[in-house]
Structure 1
């Protein structure tokens, strides 16, 4: 039985009880081969923690500007609309388009924060890093880079299914990020995953306490079967 009744309780429980490491371990044990986004996607600061529901965004490289077969005459496609579509406690998570360009800066991240977003995850770079850090909203990306947005990426859809690396992200999936990376937890399996991860994490605390008391890792593993 779940230890929570609504998202706010779930998010608070994750923040109190969990890190991405036990969540990733449990997901692999349950058969999810790729529980984590690629390791290149890192928090802008190591102590950032992000928990929320996925609002996926699909980018594509824009067609050459002025081409008669282009499907969107705007230089950023649906970028602004995708930001405005955010709801409280959602994570703006974007894939596609050129990784080497910055996709979000401080102004759009500010708007995401004002709309109540839980964080942003970009399979590329961000820019205006110091200003984003000052906003206090968790941001995960390949890094920071001033190389700009216009005519280098083009949002074509949002609140849709996307893929980052080997991981499929769908609207409403649970996104959990910390200093070790970002987990994507399928919504239909989140109760089992979170509950098992909490159990594992509590056992790991006992192992840590045993080691602190001088017990060998061999004996601690024999007793708790977790490490």
Structure 2
């Protein structure tokens, strides 16, 4: 898993996004950003679906000991900005356990701890107001959505300074192959321009404008 994670981090979200477009896969989790643009993450998703507590109560974060090293915690809190679902203690435990990072459709708090430990968190923002007695972890390892993108347990999440993409596990190899081809073509274009070729000519010769488009037919 570490080799795949390292390669995906190196490829980056912009190239993976182009590969998703070429393959007709909606995987860009728009609006979810890191708290430090140097943060990187890549790994299979451990999903959590949050719901309002209603009359039942419940806990926000008691699932954390079941997350395996290298997995990415993916929390679907329906984009809520008024109830945080991740904070200082979860960051400390996740960092100590070697968890790969956290992605939240919603907000977190205690962001200073994340920055101190270098633990990657991607979210819609941060605030101080706890989610305790407001939301609860209703289900774990179920299909959720992050920013309108469907994410099943085990789907891969990749994050960097440009945001988060989700890669369906069943098509991971195909996405990686497409992304490698796009990256190689763009590298050839850069080399051609450095060698003195006009950008428009290099793009035309190497079919740059077709890189992100679905193949005809």
TM-score between both structures, scaled by the size of structure 1: 0.86
Between the aligned partners of 1:46 and 1:114, the Cα distance in structure 2 is 22
Question: Who is 1:66 aligned against?
Answer: none
Question: Who is 1:201 aligned against?
Answer: 183
Aligned mate of 2:27, from 35, 43, 53: 35
Aligned mate of 2:103, from 94, 116, 121: 121
Question: Who is 1:25 aligned against?
Answer: 18
Question: Who is 1:219 aligned against?
Answer: 201
TM-score between both structures, scaled by the size of structure 2: 0.90
Question: Who is 2:214 aligned against?
Answer: none
- Per-residue deviation, 1:87: 0.3
Between the aligned partners of 2:66 and 2:173, the Cα distance in structure 1 is 27
- Per-residue deviation, 1:209: 2.4
Is contact 1:99-1:123 (8 Å) kept? Answer: no
- Per-residue deviation, 1:211: 2.5
Is contact 1:101-1:152 (8 Å) kept? Answer: yes
- Per-residue deviation, 1:200: 0.9
**1:165 and 2:147 matched:** yes
Question: Who is 1:46 aligned against?
Answer: 37
- Per-residue deviation, 1:45: 0.5
- Per-residue deviation, 1:22: 1.2
Residues 42-98 of structure 1: per-residue CA shift (max 9 Å, x gap) = 0011111100110010001111xxxxxx33x44x2xx33321211011000101353
Is contact 2:9-2:158 (8 Å) kept? Answer: no
- Per-residue deviation, 1:151: 1.6
Between the aligned partners of 2:208 and 2:27, the Cα distance in structure 1 is 19
Instruction: Give the unaligned 5+ runs of structure 1.
Output: 1-6, 64-69
Q: How large is the RMSD of aligned CA atoms in angstroms? A: 1.5
Question: Who is 1:182 aligned against?
Answer: 164
Aligned mate of 1:83, from 64, 70, 86: 64
Between the aligned partners of 1:135 and 1:218, the Cα distance in structure 2 is 45
Structure 2 SS opposite 1:103: coil
Between the aligned partners of 2:42 and 2:94, the Cα distance in structure 1 is 15
